[in-house]
């Protein structure tokens, strides 16, 4: 065979082809491939399939009428404007243009026949339309046979340009059915037909069903999308099952047993149950290895979410899991989103584990942003040699310079605060020996069922559904800010009884400065109003050592009132605190309020949470405060939050990428979701090629993202 001719080099003087402004705008909207354009669905439609007589055109609704221009003049009524009278056999209508060009006048000259689209209104000079769309026609110009799509677009991308681009893409893109018969629920149209219908619905199609997305064509699209997601999650699960993690088992008389014996309380039944679920994951022989070696030391990496309401006692469960890993001769990393929270964990874990570890010649390492220099180097060293059996910290734990000798288990608290990238990074910390660490994530924001089924299908979930005994539910009261002085009087009462009080000021994202000023002013106000009482201030700008000192005073009971920005949001544990005041409660999200409220009611005394708000409240603000007053159940709160805010809150960093569900709506489409969930496993098992093609069409590059 002769060698292939080299492709001709591009002429050196031909400049690269410039993209036009609309092309660039299209790319900005993510409309790069034909399939992207085909899936860019109309927001609404215009009906150019019918012409109404002017007399029949209802006021204030978009209509199309047609007539002959009987008058056309320019007038100066305050502003120069073009006034055109359009007449049909039924009546006449005034068209008013405040901006116009000579070409308008030409098309709208007396005697011209035009078709006009707009909203008629009854005005002072009879019925009129302001700035209607118009085009010159003759008696035989056909009407549109389909509804005209109106696409979501941007200022740089004209609707007409986008329409053409979509139509061209639709004609090119292969929309063959990749799914084998029987996969798609009966009664839904083929994909090609569904898309053509949604882009160009035939005249007479129900506009309502199209716009509220209940139309079968919509259902087909939603099903496709949900199926792609289920498939990719399944694939991720299969992939994980091929990976290996160290098999971790507690040893008799080991750290796990010692810790259990040392705890100052009995575990609740729920804590015991989830503890066993986790231990089973850690110690289970990987399915593929079974039989080959019953005593294999390879396990399937755990990918488990531990959910439990605020105060349900997740920390001790984490400590017990860590003990199992350490018993087995591996290290455990515990990562929290903030330094303060990491500190809290550290304190508890130190209390419980340090004496036990010390007796074994092991230690705990502490890695946060504020540990620098020698102290840090020493810690990093202990992690690298394996002397530190437990590593507690913030994101500093996953920095490049940190190497683990034998990371067996990674625990992430408040997982929704971390991104996918950070989770991946943690998993990579044990890249050697082709092993992965086990992963345990903890959250106080329970994931509603439909969400768990879509986004977290590859996640095993353990739930602590019981609080430790002796807690009294927190009573929540909602007051307008005018009642502030009454609330301050209440603080004095509470402190007189020997109790402690939190006062939380909101975080204003745009301005850390104002945020601080708020907290500082409130601190001054409370200090003045509560003479003789120790009132402390805690905010994000304080150096770590000072934060720790303030917290220590409050935790030790020497400080009666703690004014804080949301730095205390998670993890702080002072059982003697019985009153929490949240200022500007209307600025917080529902789950954030719930987390904050969880800081009180940790002891046996009846606790109160006061939500102070500054009116007027928005409807969602009202909903949130009402939800808080009505329930203390974290699951119910999560459900209402999903209703009020949509899924963002639960998704952590996933929400910041593309919205993963563009068409389906979890609240409305639960039945379709169930169908997709049922259809995915047999499809993947029997038609893997079809499954792959389907995922590629729908998720493209996002599929990788879903695996994290």
Contact residues for ligand ADP (CB under 6 A)? Answer: 265-268, 271, 308, 310-316, 444, 468, 573, 602
Query: For residues 311 and 446, which CB has a smaller minimum distance to ligand ADP in the complex?
Result: 311
CB of 271 to ligand ADP, least distance (A): 6
Alpha helices in 472-543 (DSSP H): 484-496, 512-529
Query: For residues 278 and 379, which CB has a smaller minimum distance to ligand ADP in the complex?
Result: 278
- Quote the tokens at residue 540: 């994000």
CB of 419 to ligand ADP, least distance (A): 21
Query: For residues 336 and 585, which CB has a smaller minimum distance to ligand ADP in the complex?
Result: 336
List the one residue out of 136, 139, 134, 97 whose CA is nearest residue 118. 134
CB of 322 to ligand ADP, least distance (A): 13
CB of 595 to ligand ADP, least distance (A): 9
Do 542 and 550 form a contact (C-beta atoms < 8 A)?
A: yes
DSSP E strands, 237-302:
245-246, 298-299
Beta bridge partners of 477: 610
Query: For residues 316 and 440, which CB has a smaller minimum distance to ligand ADP in the complex?
Result: 316
Query: For residues 316 and 664, which CB has a smaller minimum distance to ligand ADP in the complex?
Result: 316
Do 438 and 425 form a contact (C-beta atoms < 8 A)?
A: no
Query: For residues 230 and 312, which CB has a smaller minimum distance to ligand ADP in the complex?
Result: 312
Query: For residues 40 and 345, which CB has a smaller minimum distance to ligand ADP in the complex?
Result: 345
**Residue tagged 């340090």 (tokens):** 354
Query: For residues 439 and 444, which CB has a smaller minimum distance to ligand ADP in the complex?
Result: 444
Q: Of all helices (H) and strands (E), which one includes residue 577?
A: strand 577-582
CB of 265 to ligand ADP, least distance (A): 4
CB of 558 to ligand ADP, least distance (A): 19
Beta bridge partners of 409: 332, 438
- Quote the tokens at residue 28: 């900005």
Query: For residues 62 and 575, which CB has a smaller minimum distance to ligand ADP in the complex?
Result: 575
CB of 272 to ligand ADP, least distance (A): 9
Q: How many helices and strands (H and E) does the chain possess?
A: 23, 24
The Cα 296–Cα 246 span in angstroms is 10
- Find the residue with minimal CB distance to ligand ADP: 313
Measure the CA dihedral 336/341/342/344, to 10°.
-140
SS3 476: strand
Do 648 and 448 form a contact (C-beta atoms < 8 A)?
A: no
CB of 594 to ligand ADP, least distance (A): 11
CB of 279 to ligand ADP, least distance (A): 17
Angstrom CA distances, 118 to 44, 52, 121, stand at 15, 12, 10
Distance of CA 282 to the CA centre of its chain: 29
The Cα 360–Cα 413 span in angstroms is 26
């Amino acid at each position: 065979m002769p060698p292939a001719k080299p492709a001709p080099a591009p002429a050196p003087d031909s400049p690269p082809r410039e993209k036009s402004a609309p092309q660039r705008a299209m790319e900005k909207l993510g409309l790069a491939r034909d399939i992207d354009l085909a899936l860019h669905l109309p927001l609404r439609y215009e009906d150019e399939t019918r012409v109404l007589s002017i007399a029949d055109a209802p006021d204030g609704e978009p209509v199309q009428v047609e007539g002959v221009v009987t008058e056309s003049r320019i007038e100066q009524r305050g502003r120069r404007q073009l006034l055109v009278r359009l007449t049909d056999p039924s009546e006449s209508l005034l068209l008013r243009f405040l901006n116009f060009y000579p070409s308008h006048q030409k098309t709208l000259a007396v005697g011209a026949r035009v078709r006009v689209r707009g909203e008629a209104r009854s005005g002072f000079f009879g019925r009129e339309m302001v700035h209607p769309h118009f085009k010159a026609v003759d008696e035989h110009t056909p009407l549109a046979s389909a509804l005209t799509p109106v696409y979501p677009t941007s200022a740089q991308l004209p609707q007409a340009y986008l329409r053409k681009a979509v139509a061209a893409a639709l004609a090119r893109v292969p929309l063959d059915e990749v799914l084998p018969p029987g996969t798609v629920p009966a009664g839904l149209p083929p994909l090609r037909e569904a898309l053509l219908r949604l882009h160009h619905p035939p005249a007479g199609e129900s506009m309502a069903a199209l716009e509220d997305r209940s139309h079968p064509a919509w259902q087909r699209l939603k099903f496709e999308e949900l199926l792609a997601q289920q498939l990719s999650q399944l694939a991720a699960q299969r992939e994980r099952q091929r990976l290996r993690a160290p098999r971790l088992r507690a040893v008799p008389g080991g750290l796990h047993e010692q810790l259990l014996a040392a705890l100052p309380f009995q575990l609740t039944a729920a804590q015991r149950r989830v503890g066993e679920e986790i231990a089973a994951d850690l110690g289970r022989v990987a399915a593929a290895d079974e039989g080959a070696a019953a005593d294999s030391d390879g396990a399937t990496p755990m990918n488990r979410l531990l959910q439990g309401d605020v105060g349900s006692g997740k920390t001790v469960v984490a400590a017990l899991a860590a003990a199992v890993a350490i018993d087995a001769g591996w290290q455990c990393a515990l990562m929290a989103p903030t330094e303060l929270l990491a500190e809290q964990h550290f304190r508890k874990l130190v209390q419980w584990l340090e004496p036990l570890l010390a007796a074994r010649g092991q230690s705990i390492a502490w890695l946060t942003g504020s540990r620098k220099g020698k102290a840090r180097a020493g810690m990093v060293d202990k992690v690298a040699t394996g002397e530190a059996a437990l590593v507690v910290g913030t994101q500093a734990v996953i920095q490049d310079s940190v190497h683990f000798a034998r990371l067996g288990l990674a625990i992430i608290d408040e997982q929704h605060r971390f991104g996918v990238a950070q989770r991946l990074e943690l998993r990579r910390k044990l890249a050697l020996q082709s092993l992965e660490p086990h992963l345990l994530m903890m959250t106080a924001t329970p994931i509603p069922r439909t969400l768990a089924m879509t986004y977290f299908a590859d996640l095993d979930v353990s739930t602590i559904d019981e609080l430790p005994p002796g807690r009294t539910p927190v009573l929540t009261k909602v007051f307008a800010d005018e009642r502030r002085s009454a609330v301050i009087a209440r603080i004095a009462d509470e402190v007189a009884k020997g109790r402690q009080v939190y006062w939380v000021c909101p975080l204003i994202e745009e301005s850390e400065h104002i945020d601080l000023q708020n907290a500082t002013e409130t601190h001054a106000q409370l200090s003045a109003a509560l003479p003789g009482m120790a009132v402390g201030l805690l905010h994000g700008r304080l150096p770590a050592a000072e934060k720790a000192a303030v917290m220590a005073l409050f935790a030790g009971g020497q400080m009666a009132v703690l004014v804080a920005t949301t730095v205390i949001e998670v993890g702080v544990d002072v059982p003697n605190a019985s009153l929490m005041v949240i200022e500007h409660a209307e600025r917080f999200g529902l789950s954030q309020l719930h987390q904050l409220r969880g800081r009180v009611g940790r002891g046996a005394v009846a606790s109160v949470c006061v939500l102070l708000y500054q009116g007027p409240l928005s409807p969602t603000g009202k909903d949130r405060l009402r939800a808080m007053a009505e329930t203390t159940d974290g699951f119910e709160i999560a459900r209402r939050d999903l209703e009020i805010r949509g899924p963002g809150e639960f998704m952590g960093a996933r929400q910041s990428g593309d919205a993963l569900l563009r068409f389906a709506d979890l609240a409305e489409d639960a039945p379709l979701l169930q169908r997709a969930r049922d259809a995915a496993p047999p499809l993947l098992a029997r038609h893997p090629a079809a499954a792959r093609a389907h995922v590629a069409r729908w998720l493209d590059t996002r599929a990788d993202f879903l695996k994290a």
